[in-house]
Amino acid sequence: MAVEVKIGITDSPRELSIQTTLTSDKAYSEVEAALSGSGQLLALTDDKGARYLVPVTKIAYVEVGSTENRRVGFVAS
């Protein structure tokens, strides 16, 4: 299961999109803790092991996707 976290960065036209192995609730908690003043950086690790540090003062918005199983295969019509 993977959760997509999209982070809008101020002064940047593109958003940062991270696929993480965290649950949706855990990813949301990490973002909430960073934005509540617990730290100066939001730290996340993607599903391939790459680590991201985003200064909380540069975060415009964060979208945390829901946890869902990816469906693979074909549907018979």
CB-based contact 54:42 (threshold 8 Å) = yes
Average predicted confidence (pLDDT) for the chain: 87
CATH number for the domain harbouring residue 24: 2.30.30
7-31 core/surface letters (b: 16 or more CB in 10 A; e: else): beeeeeeeebebebebebeebeebb
* 37 within domain boundaries: yes
Q: What is the extent of the structural domain holding 32?
A: 3-64
Residue 24: pLDDT band (50, 70, 90) is very high
Q: Answer whether residue 9 shows pLDDT above 90.
A: yes
5: tokens are 């976290």
Q: What is the pLDDT of residues 52-61, one digit of tens each?
A: 999 999 999 9
